[in-house]
């Protein structure tokens, strides 16, 4: 009997994870895309403020995004659905890589496609509208995403292995697909291109 109860407990906990992951995917699927302002706070494990920033985010599912940090330094991460461009004007360089192999941008892969195989390496636990994603493949970042029942993302955090947390609060949101021209990137003249494809 004890073995049976233990087995039932394990099965129940596994189904809770599956249920939470499925619910998060269903919520994300409700919106084809969005535009938002964001504010950023980066804090150490002991809650010391390291950086504050601001920027804008455009998303059209699946795989299109334009993440532009305006402060403190300008940086753009743009995906045209196939390639991911990382452009920092101050260093006059742009890096381009295959989006599906861009391990540094797993969060955007998860947000922009609920059917990406990357979901298979995450366990998801829910507390109200907040979902914690923990990798099972040795990756060193956890994510916490707050998604309302309507599908709107209100905030998210990226938690590093050392406990550093980058928190992003989204505001001024406009829901709906964004024109694909927002996800095209043409390197400015004279910019060095680091092609990692």
Beta-carbon contacts of 22 under 8 Å, excluding residues fewer than 6 positions away, are: none
Query: What is the average pLDDT score of the chain?
Result: 88
The CATH architecture to which 2-195 belongs is: Clam (2.50)
Could you identify the residue written with the tokens 């504050």? Answer: 52
Residues 73-110: tens digit of each pLDDT? 899 999 999 999 999 998 888 999 998 777 667 898 89
Q: What share of the chain is helix, strand, coil (3-state, %, to 5)?
A: 25, 45, 25
In the chain, where the domains are located: 2-195
CA–CA dist 34, 190 (Å, integer):
32
Total-model pTM: 0.84
Cis peptide bond prior to 119, omega within 30° of 0: no
Give 96's strand partners: 85, 195
Confidence bin at 1 (pLDDT 50/70/90): low
3 state SS of 66:
strand
User: Are residues 171 and 38 in contact, defined by beta-carbon separation less than 8 angstroms?
Assistant: yes
For residue 26, CA distances in Å to 29, 177, 184 come to 5, 17, 28
List the beta strands (DSSP E) in the chain: 33-43, 49-60, 64-71, 75-80, 83-88, 93-98, 122-127, 130-135, 141-147, 153-160, 165-175, 192-195
Query: Which of the 8 DSSP states describes residue 136?
Result: S
pLDDT tens track for 162-180: 999 999 999 999 999 999 9
Kindly report, residue by residue over 105-137, the tens digit of the pLDDT.
789 889 999 888 889 999 999 999 999 999 998
Residues 12-43: tens digit of each pLDDT? 444 444 499 999 999 999 999 999 999 999 99
């Amino acid at each position: 009997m004890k073995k049976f109860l233990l087995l039932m407990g394990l099965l129940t906990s596994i189904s809770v994870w599956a249920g939470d992951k499925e619910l998060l995917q269903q919520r994300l699927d409700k919106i084809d895309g969005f535009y938002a302002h964001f504010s950023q706070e980066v804090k150490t494990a002991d809650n010391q403020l390291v950086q504050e920033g601001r920027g804008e985010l455009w998303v059209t599912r699946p795989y299109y995004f334009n993440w532009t940090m305006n402060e403190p330094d300008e940086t753009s991460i743009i995906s045209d659905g196939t390639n991911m461009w990382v452009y920092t004007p101050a260093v006059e360089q742009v890096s381009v890589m295959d989006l599906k192999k861009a391990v540094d941008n797993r969060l955007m892969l998860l947000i922009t496609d609920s059917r990406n195989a990357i979901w298979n390496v995450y366990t998801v636990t829910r507390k109200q509208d907040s979902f914690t994603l923990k990798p099972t493949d040795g990756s060193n970042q956890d994510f916490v995403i707050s998604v309302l029942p309507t599908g709107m993302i209100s905030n998210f955090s990226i938690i590093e292995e050392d406990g550093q947390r980058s928190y992003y609060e989204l505001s001024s949101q406009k829901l709906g697909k964004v024109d694909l021209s927002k996800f095209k990137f043409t390197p400015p003249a004279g910019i060095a291109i680091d092609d990692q494809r």
